[in-house]
Amino acid sequence: MKKILIFSLIIILFTKCNCGSDLQNKHLTYQNIIILSDMSSRIDNKLPKDIDAIHTIIQFFKNECVKPGKKIGDKSSISFSVFSEKVSASIDIDKIKTLGAKQQFINSTGKYKNNGLDQQIEVFEQKINNIYANTRNSGLDLISVLIEKIENEPIIKQNTNFTNGVDTTFVNYDNHIYIFTDGYLEYSNKSTNSQFYFGSPEIDKVRQFCISNNINITKALQTNSSLCLPLSRSAKNQYITLHIFETHERDKNDKFQTYKYPKGLRDNEILEAVWRKWAKESGFKDLEWKKY
């Protein structure tokens, strides 16, 4: 009987230890910010707006993600590239493995006194300024390039976990892709591949469908799939929030603050609806569309 009681007590203690270990599990979330710029002729009209908006994103990365002097062991990252090239500038704190070195880099101290986060951010922004000053592309197939980057370039971070004894740390990454573009999907090789081409003729087709059927843009896209972009589903999409920063409305007269088309049928409204439907049905986590 005594042996049975001792055995039962061991089982109870073991169960309590296992249950208690769940309380030691950690769930940590870090940011992975990817900036992609459409370097077509649209930037000749609104160049300073891109630079200022990118600067704001970089400051968010520093002050709200990394938080020098306030946060320990951050794993956030930020990168920049134009659609026609691979990553041109990058800061990835996760690549610094030891906690001591990581904190020295973040706070620009110790061996990183002259090459820490502050200095790397200056280099990062200078590279972007130089690219904007010297790069111009003709229209590119932005959707196809975006799909290629997500699938075949190491820009997206996926969640992971590691165990230390009975404790498990779950590391989650919020992937944010900021796309600086005017929203028009126009490119020179349309005759070869028009799959994701969406320019003025396609916009006007949506507009005329709305007018002739007396329906709004959303209903038009739901009714007629030929007005939409083809879907592109990927297992990685669920981890990505897209941010479309639109800087140039072609049908808007900035001088007189007037539009060529009435509200509900403007280019920007049609483009936003088309992008949103494509992103949602392609399985992206979310999409933000921002005019600025």
pLDDT digits (tens, 9 = 90+) for 223-237: 999 999 999 999 999
pTM attached to this predicted model: 0.88
Residue ranges of the alpha helices (H) in the chain?
2-21, 43-60, 99-107, 117-134, 142-152, 200-213, 217-223, 267-281
Q: Is residue 39 part of a domain?
A: yes
Q: What is the pLDDT of residue 14?
A: 41
Instruction: Tell me the residue range of the domain where 243 lies.
Output: 26-291
Q: What is the pLDDT of residue 47?
A: 55
Burial class (CB in 10 A: 0-12, 13-18, 19+), 287: buried
Q: Is residue 162 part of a domain?
A: yes
CA atoms within 13 A on the CB side of 10: 6
Q: Is residue 63 part of a domain?
A: yes
Q: Are strands 160-164 and 167-181 parallel, antiparallel or unpaired?
A: antiparallel
Q: Is residue 21 part of a domain?
A: no
Q: What is the pLDDT of residue 40?
A: 86
Q: What is the pLDDT of residue 188?
A: 84
Give the chain's residues under pLDDT 50: 5-21
Q: Is residue 170 part of a domain?
A: yes
The total domain count for the chain is 1
Q: What is the pLDDT of residue 23?
A: 52
